[in-house]
């Protein structure tokens, strides 16, 4: 089984969930995989990240600006306001799956990801790009092109890349909800572990800016 992303609306797109810390910010810009779709609030990988940071004594606050159904164009439309409001040190960019699900133009998707990454870097943030893949029934050429977008954007824009966000989850049907699309609560620690090594390296090498 291979995960696809939902196109259903879930949260108010103008809102971003942030914790109460006043430390430097990590901004998560994603879709249903990061917006706790279909699982209890407080159990998603972003919430687990907050707990991990606290357990390591890191003062970073996490701003979750993820929306179920979000596309790269939607993220591009929102990024400037989010950067201005939160001044993140790190942006975790988890978008693109809904573009593939809707059959959107991959060149446009790549350009959107490049622009989000470039704007984030100009604002002083490092970018962690979470790679996605699509099922083989999309066709080999399309699947390869889609996966290659993330490598291309990371290389051109100087972002750090996680090759496949759903490693260890995508092939396990028991880790998906009854819709066979969205990961369960049990899958969330695996998603965090896929992100954490690359994020930890960024945390250890990026000097934290003072919050506004």
Q: CA-CA distance, 140 to 134, in Å (whole number)?
A: 10
pLDDT value for 211: 54
Q: How many CA atoms lie within 13 A of 119 on its CB side?
A: 18
pLDDT value for 25: 97
pLDDT value for 212: 54
Q: CA-CA distance, 35 to 13, in Å (whole number)?
A: 11
Active site residues per annotation: 32, 179, 182
Low pLDDT (below 50) residues in the chain:
1-15
CATH for the 17-203 domain, from 3.40.50.1100, 3.40.50.1110, 3.80.10.10, 3.40.1160.10: 3.40.50.1110
pLDDT value for 70: 98
Look at the pTM and tell me if it is higher than 0.85: yes
Q: CA-CA distance, 92 to 30, in Å (whole number)?
A: 8
DSSP 3-state helix, strand, coil percentages of the chain (rounded to 5)? 45, 15, 45
pLDDT value for 21: 60
pLDDT value for 125: 97
Question: Domain limits of the chain?
Answer: 17-203
Phi, psi of 94 (to 5 degrees): -125, 75
């Amino acid at each position: 089984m291979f995960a696809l992303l939902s196109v259903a609306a879930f949260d108010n797109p103008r809102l971003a969930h942030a914790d109460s810390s006043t430390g430097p910010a990590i901004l998560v810009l994603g879709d249903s995989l990061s917006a706790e779709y279909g699982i209890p609030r407080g159990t998603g990988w972003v919430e687990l990240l907050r707990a991990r940071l606290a357990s390591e004594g890191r003062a970073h606050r996490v701003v979750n600006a993820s929306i179920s159904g979000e596309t790269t164009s939607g993220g591009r439309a929102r990024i400037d306001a989010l950067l201005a409001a939160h001044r993140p040190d790190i942006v975790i960019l988890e978008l693109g799956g809904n573009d593939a699900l809707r059959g959107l133009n991959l060149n446009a998707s790549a350009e959107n990801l490049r622009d989000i990454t470039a704007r984030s870097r100009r604002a002083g943030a490092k970018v962690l790009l979470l790679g996605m893949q699509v099922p083989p029934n999309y066709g080999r050429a399309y699947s390869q092109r889609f996966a290659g977008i993330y490598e291309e954007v990371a290389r051109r824009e100087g972002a750090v890349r996680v090759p496949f966000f759903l490693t260890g989850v995508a092939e396990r049907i028991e880790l998906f909800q009854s819709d066979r699309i969205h990961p369960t609560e049990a899958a969330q620690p695996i998603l965090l572990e896929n992100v954490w090594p690359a994020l930890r390296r960024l945390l250890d090498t990026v000097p934290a800016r003072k919050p506004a």
